[in-house]
Amino acid sequence: MATNGNINPLWKFFHSTGVKQNTSHFITHCRACVHHYEKILEDEADMAANGLILDAATELLAKQARFEAVCKSAGSQCGEKSIFISHILGNTRTKKSPCPHSGEAAINTAKAQQAATKVTVEPSGAKHSRSSSTSTESQFSAPPTKKMRQPSIATHMYPGTEMPFSTAQAAAIQDQALRAVISANLPFHVFENPEVLKLVSMFRSAAPGIVPTAKLVGGRLLNKAADIVHEKTVRIFRGRIDVGICADGWKSATRNAVNGIAGNIDGKSYTLDLIEITGDDKHGIAMAMQFGEIVDRVEVEYSCVVVYFTTDSDGGAKKGRLLLGKERPWLLVPSCWAHQFQLILGDYFKVYPYAAEIAEQATAIIAWINNHGKVRTIFDDTQKRISLGRTGRATILSYLCANLTRWTTHCIAFLRLIQVRLALSSAVVEMRPAIIKAQVGVATAAEGRRLTADAETHCDLIEDPSFWNGLEQVIGDIEPICYGTNINQKDSTRLDQILLTLAGMYLHFSEHPEVEVAAAMQKRLEKRWKDCDQQIFILALVLNPFEGLSRFGDSAGLNHIKLNGMVLRLYRRLQSRPDNPDGPEVRAQKERAVTGAFLHFLAMTGPFASWRDEEADFPSQDPIVVWTAFQSIPAVAELGKFVLILLKVVANQAGVERIFSDLKVKQTHRRARLGLPKLCKMTKVGADIKAEHQMLGLAKTRGKRKVHASTAILLAVPRYSDLLADQEDEDDTERGRLLVNSTEGWRTEMAKWIVAAREAEEAESLEDDDERADGVRAAIWKPTTLLALFGGLDASQRRRTRLPPAEVAAESALMEALADIEENARPDEGAIEIDSDDEFVP
């Protein structure tokens, strides 16, 4: 074994790869050269990151990648002394220049080694000297210099599974352990489990000694990761003048009331805070004060400007939001329109009892089939036989259950029932006695009569043509409502998209065959439209360069003068912030610039003269991208700044809803001791990890759906199909599994929808009374109606169409997956599942 004294001192200036170039020498790299090039790559990486802070694990991997790239740039040398000396000092014979990066210590060491290798040899007079003086001279000659040996790599290496970790590696591994725990929703003590320790020790024997404990994961590591995420968020928000905030309430597993706060920038949501409000007042004034404090804290902590604040329309939240808007007129306070569209679904079933009855019957059939295995087998066999005869392939479709929080699933579940109608009807006609016997089994007496009556009822319903006709009508009615709700749950839904969706629903119900339903739904939609800040929605649609005034009817009455007045009023609102440094003259000058540019935009003259010719070839259909380009024109800069703020307003609480969905997974009854501060940190870190995975393409995302051209007139408003096509960011696991698999479940949810719609209607009536007493709103803006804005369009453009097959297939696949998960937990309807005719449990 070589000792340290036998190792050539030049080795400390070279890095060995551990790979031999030949049978004797290893491939090496000059440490000075590596350090020089590595510094260059580090500076480039810092500039590219633009101040972004990476976690320790990511930074370690990036550093390893830079080191590998640097070794290629620096070049390699053979691990031999003369090569080392030649590299450091140069070689005049081969005209090799000395290393420009080597330090003084390396140069001095190389010179000393070079001098030690020079040995003076005395010339001999004969080829073989037999002089007797040879032995004498040898006695007084200097002892031979001990040959320096190349270090043996084997003496400094460990087997792969026994390699120890450096301090940097250990810190990076512990940081990554925290990210793994948060991302996979594992308990903090997972790395204290003996079997987990046994597993990691199989990868590296030293691993159990560095994996973090529960205290370390939930303490220092979590705090460190949360601080990094917070710093990232501060950097993103700093200096922005278009920040939005949404807030909503939630009951935790410990029954505490929590207010979730999320910020939105450029169509992306960021978790800002979780605030416990269990002991706080929930009336309007108290909520307004709390909302004001939230806005002030966000503006100070993140060095940004908040331009809008969104809540739902429940109780004190709505009152508090409106009071906040009156106290701070420069703040836009839209309601959550995803919540509004959910209420519209309740409106529909409230005003159309026949539809509620049909929906309940359809849900009852689906639940009956799914809850009775033998009955389901008969219907499956019929599906198989029919599909085999038609296509030559046996196909069995599942009986889909609606998910309470995925609104598209309601119409998708009913559409699937329509698809299997032939098989259900055929099975009932041909095997009605077998179906009844499959449900009843050997039950007798009262239980037998109850099960027989239940089976007869469902068979009669399947054979009733009026039920299927009614189901077709219900599907056509709830289709636009369900999709409108899903569309308006995106973080990037603009105000003009909300108005188009609402207008499409209005036009759909204006042609409803039931006159009473048409009138009632139009009234409810007009009521919800009247209750919002109409000007910001109208202006967002007008300022969309792809839309302009083309989507309004002839009776809209939106002339250029009226629209310019709306723009100036809203512009002055946003500019009325107390911290606005502009004086009266500067403000007047900017207002003139806004007016001039806006009138040019309406007429498509001046800076906008070429837009109509260039519109078709513009690379994006996003109006925000277009106005970003317009803003580079000096005459349009002030108007562009105003329009971009308006188009980036997101009137929903999707960000907060996702926070609550995540909290329900993290804080279960088995993990109820997790405090709110720790939950907040876990949520922030988890959201950051998920965003990073999506950016790197590591997360499984849904591809864009292929929406047929006919879908563009689904709701009678062109470009509606564009809204349906952009749903790839939906979280398929959001809200968990809340399947409607019983008649009672449907009735319960139906009652909740109708009660919510009724309470919202009563609350809106009270708000109307307050506004009439105040008189301020009427003096500024006289509300218009959806009929006036969108009436008079060609009726041929408003025909309904069936949903595209690709859309139905995508949602159906997810529903089948959720149904499979629920299969084992699904109870039998009315009795224990009967596995054979010989078994009966009363």
Query: For residue 307, which of 290, 320, 324 has the smallest C-alpha distance?
Result: 324
Q: What average pLDDT values come out for the chain (842 residues) when binned by 10 residues?
A: 61 80 82 86 77 65 78 82 84 78 86 72 45 44 53 49 68 79 77 70 69 85 91 94 93 86 94 90 90 96 96 86 94 91 85 91 91 92 92 89 70 90 94 92 86 93 94 90 80 92 90 92 92 93 92 86 94 94 93 95 93 89 94 94 96 89 81 84 88 73 39 34 37 42 57 58 53 42 84 51 52 59 45 37 34
Per-residue buried b or exposed e for 185-212, using 16+ beta carbons within 10 Å of the residue's own CB: eeebebbeeeeeeeebeeebbbbeebbb
Single-letter residue type at 820: D
pLDDT at 374: 92
Beta strands in 209-341 (DSSP E): 243-251, 257-265, 268-276, 306-310
pLDDT at 765: 53
How far apart are alpha carbons 302 and 123 in whole angstroms? 84
Size of the chain, expressed as the number of residues it contains = 842
How far apart are alpha carbons 509 and 522 in whole angstroms? 7
How far apart are alpha carbons 476 and 482 in whole angstroms? 11
How far apart are alpha carbons 607 and 226 in whole angstroms? 47
Tens digit of pLDDT for each residue in 657-677?
Answer: 888 888 888 887 777 778 889
pLDDT at 83: 84
Query: For residue 593, which of 543, 665, 544, 641 has the smallest C-alpha distance?
Result: 641
pLDDT at 260: 92
State in Å, rounded, how far the first CA of the chain is from the last one: 83
Query: For residue 247, which of 307, 317, 182, 159 has the smallest C-alpha distance?
Result: 317
How far apart are alpha carbons 308 and 494 in whole angstroms? 13
Instruction: For residue 786, give Cα distances in angstroms to 478, 526, 741, 783.
Output: 20, 6, 37, 10
In sequence order, the 6+-apart residues with CB closer than 8 A to the CB of 212 are 174, 177, 178, 191, 221
In sequence order, the 6+-apart residues with CB closer than 8 A to the CB of 252 are 258, 663, 667, 676
Tens digit of pLDDT for each residue in 723-767?
Answer: 333 333 444 333 334 455 555 555 565 555 555 655 655 555 555
Enter the tokens of residue 657.
Answer: 């809803």
pLDDT at 762: 58
Q: Which residues pair with 258 in a beta bridge?
A: 250, 276
What is the residue whose two structure tokens read 């987990």? 196
pLDDT at 144: 56
Domain ranges of the chain: 4-115, 166-333+671-701, 338-533+719-842, 547-651
How far apart are alpha carbons 149 and 728 in whole angstroms? 63
Model pTM greater than 0.85?
A: no
How far apart are alpha carbons 801 and 695 in whole angstroms? 36
pLDDT at 361: 92
